[in-house]
């Protein structure tokens, strides 16, 4: 059952994350569109992005002189699919002239010109009858921090370079960040041992101490460095106060240790020892970044927060209440919690803590990453709302619990439990909207290091172009009129498609190109003459798409054509008549030659018009389907689980589309360890941190719940599948489980294996009943060609103080069917794995280390190893 739970709930998210990178691309079926023309026609697809949109008649004669890979955006896109409402229905509006997200410097001539948005003063401007999903991932929060380490096993040194992150480079890494190495999993404790942490204001970084002690024991040349860092950590934990003067000296020493660790790592080959050292160094980095701000705040405490004025609050809330009347704005009122605020804020029978939590929730919703840009713009430009926000921050502001934050981090680092994740996330939310800039800086630092992206996808243009159809041939009849002449005949069109990536640090930018040739044999008749022609024409059409925080932008398609005809013969109705025949033929030929330039222009104009209009129509249709898929397969299920899928970073390099997502709710954290780097020749790579899976599992709300196992299977699979999934035959019947109140189901990646932990308060089967025990199953990576699976390995572990030998036999019998070896967890989409276009590829990386799962596809190479050896359980 739990195997199915992970397979049907968590792993489809991997396939969906991969699909997101492809959803923005139009499917190739538009190639079959018929572009009828006479004489000779040509049809090429090239994204028309190097000059302003002009009337099609004026574009026909234009020639694209620049190299094929160079693009400049049109002045104005004719279609813009903006992200629509997520939390409540809102009327689509024009986007403001400037972006809210960090933006690169782009020459004005290259920026799409959009009319500036008018001031929004009325609710009617933002109302909409139905809720829609974003058409693409929203880059709602730019987090450039992307720590990564080279993973073993790697490519043979002589074959290819490692690392698909060259375009990102070390500029994304802080000065103390490890540069590169291989990853190895750290053994997680079987049960939490938070009581071993220091109870002083500087909680002992026990998990970091254990990391450093492992380095000291296994790497003699780094022993002094590791033990020196341990001594500093222990000394820091013994300090009586956060503002102790010795703290600054210790923190400076730890910063030096982090830098020294990088230097020591350079003396190691790319193996587990180097990885272990670098990982420990990065663990120092992320703590030092937070501890330094904590110490500064302790030495110079923020001013005592100003107390909110309930009279002003009530006045501001009344203004906002008028802005969203009870009739006609129900969705806004519900989303902003206006009615609840009217009842509770300032009420004597509601605790101060409950009021503060409500205010923080309201602030979070106003600043939510899930708001569409029009919604954010509307809220930001309503004086009444902003005045209320000011009062909210005053009411919610409290002195930061610095020691509590330090302890929450160490408990999470040591235990890795969802309950500890919630404590740390709450500590972040408590200081996120502080009126003190330094406290907000602390919150941003926590966000960057402990709420970083936990899903990363890199998709190469090479892979996309492989999946696009190869040269296509299409024969069609020709019926047309050119310069008043009736034209008929036949044509044969060949078309080639390709995708071009246009480097952009802040968004996806790509051009869809098509090139074509049209060979034609036609006869054109006008008056008494009929002319027979053979034509060989070429055409190019192109269309640019971008994906950024505004959604998917579709630029106008443009095309150019070059029609070339050769007259093979002609005849008139007067042929054979003496004297008249020669005169009529001479006149007909002269008129044909005179009309040829205009006929050529007309043919080219028709080719351009038909190619661009068809391309625009087909791309719009494919994006509409992608929007629906995005909504039904990913967004809706995740939002129902109260998760906020947020793209924290998007980038286009010359070779890849890269996106980094955070999958976490308001009270959850995400990735905090370096991810594995994929091999440099990867065509597709995906890295998923176990926090993404655990956040999904946590939101299933299994805490303390009693449910039949088969009913649970049906319920969970229904959340992520539109079709009914049959119940596995070997799933045991008549099994009732009651999950533990905290951390009922959890996965983690350690020592090259995925560990599934199930904590149960009670399990009953027939007349038998067992209470308070934990079940663990382990999964190891297996790969064959393009298949990447996780298969259960070893025996099922049972942990419980009152389990006798007979109890263990019975429970293992049950869970050997629940976690059946016959059900593998597939990480690569079956359709992709069986694609004939990818038969020369293989899984080139499949690793599970330090909380991350890394999978990559690349070219086959002799003696290439994708899976690292599994370390023995510790």
Band of residue 328 on the pLDDT scale cut at 50, 70, 90: low
Tell whether 600 is covered by a domain.
yes
Would you say residue 156 has pLDDT above 60? no
**Count of all residues that appear for the chain in the document:** 874
Q: Is 578 exposed, middle or buried (0-12, 13-18, 19+ CB in 10 A)?
A: exposed
Using a pLDDT cut of 70, give the percent of the chain over it: 75
pLDDT tens figures, 747-765: 999 888 999 999 999 999 9
Residue 665 lies in a domain: no
Q: What is the value of pTM for the model shown?
A: 0.76
**What pLDDT shows up at residue 508?**
92
pLDDT exceeds 80 at position 833: no
Lowest mean pLDDT among 109-118, 478-487, 579-588: 109-118
Q: What is the pLDDT of residues 212-270, one digit of tens each?
A: 999 999 999 999 999 999 999 999 999 999 999 999 999 999 999 999 999 998 888 87
* Structure confidence at residue 143 (pLDDT): 67
Q: Residue 398: enclosing H or E segment and its boundaries? A: none
Write out the DSSP string of 116-165.
Answer: PPPPP-SGGGG--SS----SS--B-S------EEEPSS---TTT--B-S-
Q: Are residues 546 and 519 in the same domain?
A: yes
Least confident of 569-583, 636-650, 704-718, 769-783: 636-650
Q: Which of 389, 423, 451 is at the close of a domain?
A: 451
CB atoms within 10 A of CB 172: 16
pLDDT of residue 141: 62
Average pLDDT over residues 314-319: 86
731's CB contacts (< 8 A; 6+ apart) are 1, 4, 709, 710, 713, 817, 818
The per-residue b/e assignment along 268-299, b for 16 or more CB within 10 angstroms, e otherwise, is bebebbbbbbbbbbbbbbbbbbbbbbbbbbbe
Using alpha carbons, select from 214, 159, 164, 165 the residue that is nearest to residue 185: 214
Provide mean pLDDT across the span 27-34: 32
The pLDDT, as a whole number, for residue 867 is 60
* Together in a domain, 811 and 874: yes
Q: Write out the residue range of the structural domain in which residue 284 sits.
A: 174-189+201-303+402-451
Q: What is the pLDDT of residues 75-111, one digit of tens each?
A: 333 333 333 333 333 332 232 232 333 333 323 333 3
Whole-number pLDDT of residue 698: 92
Q: Is 52 contained in some domain?
A: yes
Phi-psi region of 424 (alpha: psi -120 to 50; beta: other; left: phi over 0): alpha
Identify the pLDDT of residue 151. Answer: 56
- Indicate the Cα dihedral angle 612, 616, 617, 620, nearest 10°: 170
Tokens of 749: 């990646």
Q: Per the structure block, which two tokens stand in for 612?
A: 């661009």
Is there a single domain that holds both residue 462 and residue 440? no
Higher pLDDT, 506 or 191: 506
187, pLDDT greater than 50: no
Residue with tokens 């190097």: 50
State the number of CA atoms in the 13 A half-sphere of 870 facing the CB.
Answer: 18
Q: Answer yes or no: do 474 and 615 share one domain.
A: yes
**Res 168: pLDDT:** 33
The burial class, CB within 10 Å (0-12 / 13-18 / 19+), for 164 is buried
> Does 160 have pLDDT greater than 90?
no
Q: What is the pLDDT of residue 449?
A: 95
The mean-pLDDT minimum among 163-177, 308-322, 347-361, 855-869 falls in 163-177
Does residue 159 fall inside a structural domain?
Answer: no
- Checking if the pLDDT of 440 tops 80, the result is yes
Domain co-membership, 433 together with 520: no
Which domain-ending residue is among 422, 451, 480?
451
Q: What is the DSSP letter of 864?
A: -
Q: Is residue 21 over pLDDT 70?
A: no
Q: Are residues 298 and 250 in the same domain?
A: yes
Residue 206 scores a pLDDT above 80: yes
Q: Name the DSSP letter for residue 109.
A: G
What is the DSSP code string of 333-388?
HHHTTHHHHHHHTT-TTS-HHHHHHHHHHHHHHHT-TTS-HHHHHHHHT-HHHHHH
Q: What is the pLDDT of residue 369?
A: 79
In the chain, the number of structural domains is: 2
């Amino acid at each position: 059952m739990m195997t199915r739970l992970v397979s049907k709930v968590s792993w489809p998210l991997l396939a969906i994350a991969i699909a997101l990178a492809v959803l923005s691309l139009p499917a190739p079926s538009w190639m079959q569109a018929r572009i009828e023309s006479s004489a000779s026609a040509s049809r090429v697809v090239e994204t028309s992005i190097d000059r302003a949109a002009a009337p099609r008649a004026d574009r026909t004669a234009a020639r694209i002189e620049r190299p094929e890979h160079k693009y400049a955006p049109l002045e104005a896109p004719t279609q813009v699919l903006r992200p629509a409402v997520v939390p409540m229905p809102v009327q689509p509006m024009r986007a403001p002239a400037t972006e809210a997200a960090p933006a690169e410097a782009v020459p004005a001539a290259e920026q799409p010109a959009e009319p500036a948005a008018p001031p929004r003063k009325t609710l009617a401007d933002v109302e909409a009858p139905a809720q829609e999903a974003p058409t693409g991932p929203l880059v709602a929060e730019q987090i450039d921090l992307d720590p990564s380490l080279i993973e073993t096993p790697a490519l043979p040194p002589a074959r290819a370079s490692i690392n698909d992150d060259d375009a990102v480079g070390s500029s994304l890494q802080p000065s103390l960040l490890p540069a590169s190495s291989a990853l190895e999993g750290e053994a997680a404790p079987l049960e939490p041992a938070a009581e071993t942490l220091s109870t002083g204001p500087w909680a002992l970084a026990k998990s970091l101490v254990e990391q450093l002690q492992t380095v000291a024991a296994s790497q003699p040349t780094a022993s002094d460095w590791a033990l020196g860092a341990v001594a500093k950590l222990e000394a820091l934990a013994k300090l009586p106060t956060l503002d102790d003067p010795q703290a600054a000296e210790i923190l400076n020493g730890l910063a030096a240790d982090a830098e020294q660790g990088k230097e020591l790592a350079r003396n190691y080959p790319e193996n587990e020892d180097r990885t272990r050292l670098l990982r420990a160094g990065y663990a120092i980095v992320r703590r030092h970044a937070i501890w330094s701000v904590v110490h500064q705040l302790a030495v110079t405490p923020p001013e005592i927060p100003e107390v909110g004025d309930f009279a002003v609050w009530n006045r501001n809330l009344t203004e906002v209440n008028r802005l969203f009347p009870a009739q006609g704005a129900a969705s806004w009122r519900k989303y902003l919690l206006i009615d609840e605020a009217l009842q509770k804020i300032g009420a004597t029978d509601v605790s101060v803590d409950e009021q503060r939590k409500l205010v923080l929730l309201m602030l979070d919703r106003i600043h939510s990453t899930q708001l569409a840009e029009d919604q954010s713009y509307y809220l930001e430009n309503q004086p009444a709302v902003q005045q209320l926000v000011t009062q909210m921050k005053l009411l919610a502001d409290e002195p930061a619990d610095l020691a509590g934050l330090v302890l929450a981090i160490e408990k999470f680092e040591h235990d890795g439990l969802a309950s500890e994740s919630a404590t740390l996330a709450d500590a972040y939310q408590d200081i996120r909207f502080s009126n003190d800039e330094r406290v907000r800086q602390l919150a941003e630092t926590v966000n960057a290091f402990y709420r970083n992206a936990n899903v990363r996808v890199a998709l190469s243009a090479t892979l996309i172009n492989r999946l696009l159809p190869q040269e296509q041939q299409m024969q069609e009849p020709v019926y047309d009129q050119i310069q008043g002449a009736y034209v008929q005949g036949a044509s044969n069109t060949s078309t080639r498609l390709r995708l071009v990536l246009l480097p952009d640090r802040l968004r996806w930018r790509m051009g869809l190109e098509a090139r074509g040739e049209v060979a034609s044999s036609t006869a054109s008749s006008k008056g008494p003459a009929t002319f027979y022609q053979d034509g060989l024409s070429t055409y190019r059409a192109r269309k640019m798409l971008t994906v950024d925080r505004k959604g998917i932008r579709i630029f106008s398609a443009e095309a150019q054509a070059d029609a070339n005809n050769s007259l093979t013969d002609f005849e008139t109705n007067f042929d054979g008549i003496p004297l008249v025949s020669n005169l009529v033929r001479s006149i007909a030929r002269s008129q044909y030659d005179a009309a040829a330039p205009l006929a050529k222009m007309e043919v080219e104009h028709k080719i351009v018009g038909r190619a661009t209009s068809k391309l625009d129509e087909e791309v719009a249709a494919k994006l509409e389907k992608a929007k629906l898929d995005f909504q039904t397969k990913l967004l809706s299920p995740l939002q129902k689980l109260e998760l906020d899928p947020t793209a924290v970073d998007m980038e286009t390099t010359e070779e890849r589309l890269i996106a980094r997502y955070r999958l976490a709710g308001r009270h959850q954290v995400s990735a905090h360890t370096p991810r594995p780097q994929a091999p440099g020749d990867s065509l597709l790579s995906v890295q998923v941190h176990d926090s993404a899976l655990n956040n999904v599992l946590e939101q299933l709300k299994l805490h303390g719940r009693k449910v039949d196992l088969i009913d649970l299977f049906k319920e969970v699979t229904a959340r992520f599948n539109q079709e009914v999934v049959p119940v596995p035959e070997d799933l045991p019947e008549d099994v009732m489980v009651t999950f533990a109140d905290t951390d009922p189901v959890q996965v983690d990646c350690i020592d090259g294996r995925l560990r599934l932990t199930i904590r149960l308060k009670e399990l009953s089967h027939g007349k038998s009943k067992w209470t308070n025990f934990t079940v663990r199953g382990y999964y190891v990576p297996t790969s064959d060609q393009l298949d990447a699976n996780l298969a259960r390995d070893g025996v099922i572990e049972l942990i419980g103080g009152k389990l006798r030998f007979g109890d263990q036999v019975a429970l293992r019998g049950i869970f050997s069917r629940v976690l059946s070896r016959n059900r593998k967890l597939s990480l690569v989409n079956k359709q992709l794995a069986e694609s004939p276009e990818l038969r020369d590829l293989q899984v080139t990386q499949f690793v599970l280390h330090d909380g991350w799962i890394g999978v990559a596809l690349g070219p086959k190479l002799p003696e290439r190893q994708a899976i690292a050896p599994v370390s023995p359980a510790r």
